[in-house]
Amino acid sequence: MLDIKITRTSNPQKKPDSKNLGFGRYFTDHMFVMDYTDGRGWHDARIVPYSNMSFDPATMVFHYAQESFEGLKAYHADDGRILLFRPEKNAERLNRTHDRLCMPELPVEDFIQAVKAVVSVDRDWIPTEPGTSLYIRPFAIATDIAIGVHPSHTYKFIIILSPVGAYYPEGMNPVKIYVEDEYVRAVKGGTGFAKCGGNYAASVKSQDKANAKGYTQVLWLDGVHRKYIEEVGTMNVFFKINGEVLTAPIEGSILPGVTRDSCIQLLKKWGVPVSERRFTIDELMEAARAGKLEEAFGSGTAAVISPIGELNFEGEIATINGFKIGELTQKLYDTLTAIQWGKAKDDLGWTTEI
Ligand code: COI
């Protein structure tokens, strides 16, 4: 149990228009900060006014990217409750990331306590417009002042909060995806399964290329054979082919998404055939040509469920479901968001009230 010292701001900001939030542009009045020192563990848990932080230019994170982050949301239910969605999954994943990056683990209950505490302090910032929420961004950075390559002995764990609307400007409308055949995101044994900034730094060149061609995101293929479907830029990805829903297996190179896992559990509950298995871009394009690629969607905390209307692979275009939202895609979106916003009974015990 953390002993969290709270210092409230004396200068609260004006809140943004919740009809026009976009994603990750505004930040709340407070943040959570905690330090780690080898031999002492995590200490000095505190909530302080949101502000700039000052770091020595030789701080390790700037040089070797020993860094982790997470993403989850707080939802404002109509009856006034504030809900989190499966926050223990984020805490567990943070620890898997930390293990991979030689960073100290954080007890799951401390992670959840810290999230709840800072969200409670800034609860007035949780927007209430339909489809909006408070995005929670926990992250940890290596803070030793040294430029030799080694695991840091000191860290900071920080949580910032951002009121958000839809991640993509398209909202819950189909997006166009470019299949990346030049760059790769991850290989087994690397950091593909970890949520660390370096994975995203390595992805922006490809995203830029896709954006310039009029595509919202890229679809990554595996880094070795360059043919197995992995994930989309900021989401896991599912394809419904001939009645069966396929998604890439968790084998070390893709991010084990909380929304991905929730979709699989819901599909199984509904009796929809769902397989976590390797499948190739050729199988996918062949299914599209044969009219068997029925639906495609991405899943993620930021993106929720995002229908995919078009794929471009080496210039061949596959239009999916006439560029309309698929029935199953819509059902998953409706079900997940109803649970998250406390509108539906949470039979699966996924929400935690603050
Ligand atoms: C999320 O879905 O929460 C993510 O972390 C994706 C992100 C990089 C915006």
Q: Does pLDDT of 241 surpass 90?
A: yes
* Whether residue 191 is found in the same domain as residue 259: yes
Per-residue pLDDT at 224: 96
Q: Does pLDDT of 175 surpass 90?
A: yes
* Whether residue 208 is found in the same domain as residue 229: yes
Given 111, 134, 164, the domain boundary residue is 164
* Whether residue 219 is found in the same domain as residue 288: yes
Amino acid (one-letter) located at 154 = T
| Cβ of 126 below 6 Å from ligand 1 | no
Nearest CA to ligand 1 atom 8: 234
| Cβ of 307 below 6 Å from ligand 1 | no
Question: What is the arithmetic mean of pLDDT over 11-25?
Answer: 94
What is the rounded average pLDDT for all residues in the chain? 96
| Cβ of 301 below 6 Å from ligand 1 | yes
Per-residue pLDDT at 167: 79
Answer whether residue 346 is part of any domain.
no
**Secondary structure (3-state) at 32:** strand
Answer whether residue 151 is part of any domain.
yes
Show the domain range for 86: 5-164
Q: In the chain, what percentage of residues exceed pLDDT 70?
A: 100
DSSP string, 155-219: EEEEEEEEEE--SSTT-SS-EEEEEPSS-----TTTTTTS--HHHHHTTHHHHHHHHHTT-SEEE
* Whether residue 75 is found in the same domain as residue 145: yes
Tokens at residue 333, please?
């979106």
User: What CATH number has the domain bearing residue 261?
Assistant: 3.20.10.10
Q: Does pLDDT of 171 surpass 90?
A: no
Question: Ligand 1, closest atom to CA 259?
Answer: 2
Answer whether residue 36 is part of any domain.
yes
Nearest CA to ligand 1 atom 3: 71
Q: Does pLDDT of 169 surpass 80?
A: no
Find tokens 């692979």 and name the residue.
313
Given 164, 187, 218, the domain boundary residue is 164
* Whether residue 110 is found in the same domain as residue 43: yes
Answer whether residue 170 is part of any domain.
no
| Cβ of 97 below 6 Å from ligand 1 | no
Question: What is the arithmetic mean of pLDDT over 163-178?
Answer: 86
User: What CATH number has the domain bearing residue 139?
Assistant: 3.30.470.10
pLDDT band at 62 (very low <50, low <70, confident <90, very high): very high
Per-residue pLDDT at 64: 97
Given 104, 130, 164, the domain boundary residue is 164
Helix (H) or strand (E) holding 267: helix 258-269
* Whether residue 318 is found in the same domain as residue 228: yes
Question: What is the arithmetic mean of pLDDT over 52-59?
Answer: 98
Q: Does pLDDT of 166 surpass 90?
A: no
Q: What are phi and psi of 159, to 5 degrees?
A: -125, 125
Nearest CA to ligand 1 atom 6: 234
Number of domains observed in the structure of the chain: 2
pLDDT, tens digit, for every residue of 248-260? Answer: 999 999 999 999 9
Nearest CA to ligand 1 atom 5: 71
* Whether residue 321 is found in the same domain as residue 198: yes
* Whether residue 74 is found in the same domain as residue 44: yes
Answer whether residue 345 is part of any domain.
no
Question: What is the arithmetic mean of pLDDT over 42-64?
Answer: 98
| Cβ of 234 below 6 Å from ligand 1 | yes
* Whether residue 27 is found in the same domain as residue 142: yes
Distance 81 CA to ligand 1 centre (A): 24
Q: In angstroms, what CA-CA distances link 15 with 99, 125, 126, 131, 135? A: 38, 7, 10, 17, 15
Tell which residue, 235, 269, 239, has the closest CA to residue 254. Answer: 235
Per-residue pLDDT at 36: 98
Testing ligand 1's pocket by substitution, the residue of 234, 258, 297, 299 carrying the most ligand atoms inside 8 A of its CB is 234
* Global confidence as pTM: 0.96
Q: Does pLDDT of 168 surpass 90?
A: no
- According to DSSP, the β-strands at 217-221 and 229-232 are antiparallel
Q: In the chain, what percentage of residues exceed pLDDT 90?
A: 96
Q: Are 166 and 23 in contact (CB under 8 A)?
A: yes
Q: Are 104 and 119 in contact (CB under 8 A)?
A: no
Q: Are 336 and 305 in contact (CB under 8 A)?
A: yes
* Whether residue 150 is found in the same domain as residue 57: yes
Q: Does pLDDT of 60 surpass 90?
A: yes
Per-residue pLDDT at 260: 98
Per-residue pLDDT at 4: 98
Answer whether residue 115 is part of any domain.
yes
Q: Does pLDDT of 339 surpass 90?
A: yes
Per-residue pLDDT at 172: 81
Q: Does pLDDT of 307 surpass 80?
A: yes
Q: How far is CA 262 from the centre of its chain?
A: 13
Answer whether residue 354 is part of any domain.
no
How many C-beta atoms lie closer than 10 Å to residue 164's C-beta? 21
**Secondary structure (3-state) at 333:** helix
pLDDT, tens digit, for every residue of 99-145? Answer: 999 999 999 999 999 999 999 999 999 999 999 999 999 999 999 99
* Whether residue 149 is found in the same domain as residue 191: no
Answer whether residue 56 is part of any domain.
yes
* Whether residue 315 is found in the same domain as residue 222: yes
Per-residue pLDDT at 177: 97
Per-residue pLDDT at 121: 98
Question: What is the arithmetic mean of pLDDT over 140-158?
Answer: 98
pLDDT band at 310 (very low <50, low <70, confident <90, very high): very high
Check residues 242 and 233 and name the one with the higher pLDDT: 242
